[in-house]
């Protein structure tokens, strides 16, 4: 029996994402993992970074991939399945590549549970909407919103992956010391990796032209933008020779 679209959970999930983004801005606190973990949560139970990132990101790949597996298979199927495939591609990389390469600090378990719950919820929201609710015309592949959105998604993902590569090269295996990142968009901003991911989700929102996509892009802007701001402030305090012309997130502006 086919699943019928119910708009109520789509609206509720989108509103929850937007509200979470606003809450992040209102609290204006650094996230309690990574650079700020030791000061904000010194006594927290922790997992190794690789295991924690793998477990946290896994639902965002498994949930949509499982739903996609039940759809008719074709290389260029309905636009909705292709768009959900982009979502899966991002989280395949985050789950099976980034998590296994990261050299980050041990991760507080409480943030792992929060991230896991978020990834389950957001994975369900984006998948449910695209597979059961979205209706795209046959010519959507040639629509400027789709073309520009996919371009921005791929551009942002490239920036994100390259920036993560630069950050990994700052440390040898086992090291947890901090150094000033150089090269790529780090020449202009402290949060180049965050900027790349924000561009990705803005592109996704444009390509899907959907409320869940827009809500996720807004949340990402709030959450990752806040992280970029706190990272920038951390670098300025730690390094006297930190480039004064470098901004937090947007080159030459902020």
Beta-strand ranges (E) seen in the chain are: 46-47, 107-108
Name which residue leads in pLDDT, 71 or 224: 224
For 94-103, write each residue's pLDDT tens digit: 999 999 999 8
Q: What is the structure's pLDDT at 171?
A: 85
Q: What is the structure's pLDDT at 253?
A: 96
- Name 108's bridge partners: 46
pTM of the predicted model as reported, rounded to 2 decimal places: 0.93
For 43-91, write each residue's pLDDT tens digit: 678 999 999 999 999 999 999 999 988 876 655 678 999 999 999 999 9
- Name 47's bridge partners: 107
Residue 219 to residue 43: CA distance in whole angstroms: 29
Q: What is the structure's pLDDT at 43?
A: 60
For 104-160, write each residue's pLDDT tens digit: 888 899 999 999 999 999 999 999 999 999 999 989 999 999 999 999 999 999 999
Structural contact between residues 150 and 161, judged by C-beta atoms closer than 8 angstroms: no
- Model confidence at 39: pLDDT above 60: no
- Model confidence at 2: pLDDT above 80: no
Q: What is the structure's pLDDT at 41?
A: 58
Location of structure tokens 């551009």: 155
Length of the chain in residues, anyone? 254
């Amino acid at each position: 029996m086919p699943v019928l679209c119910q708009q109520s959970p789509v609206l509720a999930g989108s509103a929850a994402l937007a509200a979470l983004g606003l809450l992040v801005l209102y609290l204006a606190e650094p996230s309690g993992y990574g650079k700020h973990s030791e000061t904000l949560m010194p006594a927290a139970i922790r997992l190794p970074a690789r295991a924690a990132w793998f477990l946290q990101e896994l639902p965002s790949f498994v949930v949509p991939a499982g739903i996609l597996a039940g759809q008719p298979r074709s290389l260029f199927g309905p636009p909705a399945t292709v768009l959900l495939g982009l979502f899966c591609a991002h989280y395949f990389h985050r789950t099976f590549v980034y998590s296994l390469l990261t050299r980050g600090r041990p991760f507080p378990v409480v943030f792992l549970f929060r991230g896991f719950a978020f990834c389950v919820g957001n994975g369900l929201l984006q998948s449910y909407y695209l597979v059961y609710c979205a209706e795209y015309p046959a010519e959507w592949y040639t629509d400027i919103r789709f073309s520009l959105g996919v371009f921005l998604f791929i551009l942002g993902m490239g920036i994100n992956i390259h920036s993560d590569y630069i950050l990994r090269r700052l440390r040898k295996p086992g090291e947890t010391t901090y150094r000033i990142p150089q090269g790529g968009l780090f020449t202009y901003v402290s949060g180049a990796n965050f900027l790349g991911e924000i561009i990705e989700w803005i592109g996704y929102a444009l390509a899907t032209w959907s409320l869940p996509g827009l809500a996720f892009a807004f949340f990402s802007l709030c959450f990752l933008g806040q992280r970029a701001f706190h990272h920038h402030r951390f670098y300025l305090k730690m390094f006297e020779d930190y480039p004064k012309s470098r901004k937090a997130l947007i080159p030459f502006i902020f």
